Structure 1
């Protein structure tokens, strides 16, 4: 009798939880359709994603673990205290990183000028945010966020604890934005993206299990940009997310400002390894004239040497041309695409 009561209570709790979630998602005003993912903003952030550099010894293939798929790893847990927000409304997103004893972590190693890098991406990879959270003395992080449409999102926290021997960790947690939801398809692969009068061209091959080079060349009004500005210690930051599970790949630039060999444009190069065949969304942050802009690409990672990063080896109906420029997270802006925020 006791077992039957426990099962019944558990089933009722599950039904109540899913029913409440559905009700929240349906009971709010409609949101504006999210647009093409690119944006221009004032000084903001790009979380790192570790470049693959461990080889498994099999024909040059490399071990490239995907990050952000787990809420807990190596004794650390992402405690997302704001699991739900309302689409189209600015909300204070709060979270903490907890150690194996449940204590909020208050000491981190600084990487790319920050203790912790935070990104938020929608499940369809059309909305993307680089955010700069602030940490309170008790270890609680907070940052304002304004998500343009209802649906599921993933929050990624990328950090390295100050504890000796602790390596870089990327944790992920689900975030829900309430409101009527209209799913959208991933944009078709293209080798160019336009944002705020700039054009960024992607050259290179993204391959599964093998490290390759991706080159992104920035131009404005048909002229190459040769005076890119350092941003978080580099001339560009590239974040890659896998379509389907939003696995977070770390991709670092090849070279850095002041190393005597890296030029400030027009091309920024990255080494990258895809953990599997499939579609990915790449987000390049670059700074010029004091403003950080984001260019986004859909790419298809294959296994054949001739498969181009900017093309899809599967049959796909080309998406209609759409404006590539999104806007900022700041109040008063038309918030439609990829972006940054403090």
Structure 2
């Protein structure tokens, strides 16, 4: 009854105001419902402030990339597409490496149209196939004079217990091993193009990860979330080890967390047994705290373009700022061990 007593006069007066609008009626309406209007305004301002907080950093620099060549994996959708579009608008030559040919070619067309930059190239790349990675690298090395920015962006999250072409756990294979091999195959050209940058898109999920050297492929018992966290920690550890190996070359290597972004990345969770319908009641909250793909791309753009990011290496960014990753004990030892294992798994190990 109290709710009805509060709301009915408000709606009645609002209807009257709309039907017979005047500034005198508006003044009277505001005076009669001052408390309720103040509460609504405070709520709206509070929601706006919360939304601004969760959106995070925005990279506003107008810096150009004319004459620069960018290779970006997974540039056909989500933050990869938005990052590629932004870099194209800055004048860069952008090479998209995507698994789906139809979607990759369509993304390249959209970026050309939206940016006015015709220098957008698509090449097929399936990170879950080491031969596909090698083929992409061969084609890119043959066609590109320079590679100034390599943005390892593509990823898969919490999929069922799938295997890569070589039989490796899919998330570790796609998120880490494919990018590890690609980076090493392109490395000499990246060094010759210095100053240049390598950027690995990780996730805050790395804080829950550990490198399970005794069962790297989760053959004993598969946990989608733990496997994802392992692969994202691998991105950070790979970044740190590679940065040490490239000291003095003019190549910087950094990792980043894009934030909680509303993209297709979560599309496999229901297949892995996560009941997405259970999150429906939380949908308004999730929309409040999650970023759009354009907002989620800001830290990737920052890492690729900003002068500040070009001066550091082996670091981790979030919301366009330096942050401290959560690392395992004896991190450098784990990083070296992961490097050696990755070399062996992708066939780069020399004896």
TM-score (norm 2): 0.25
Larger proportion of strand: 1
Larger proportion of helix: 2
Larger RCO, structures 1/2 (Cα 8 Å, 6+ apart) = 1
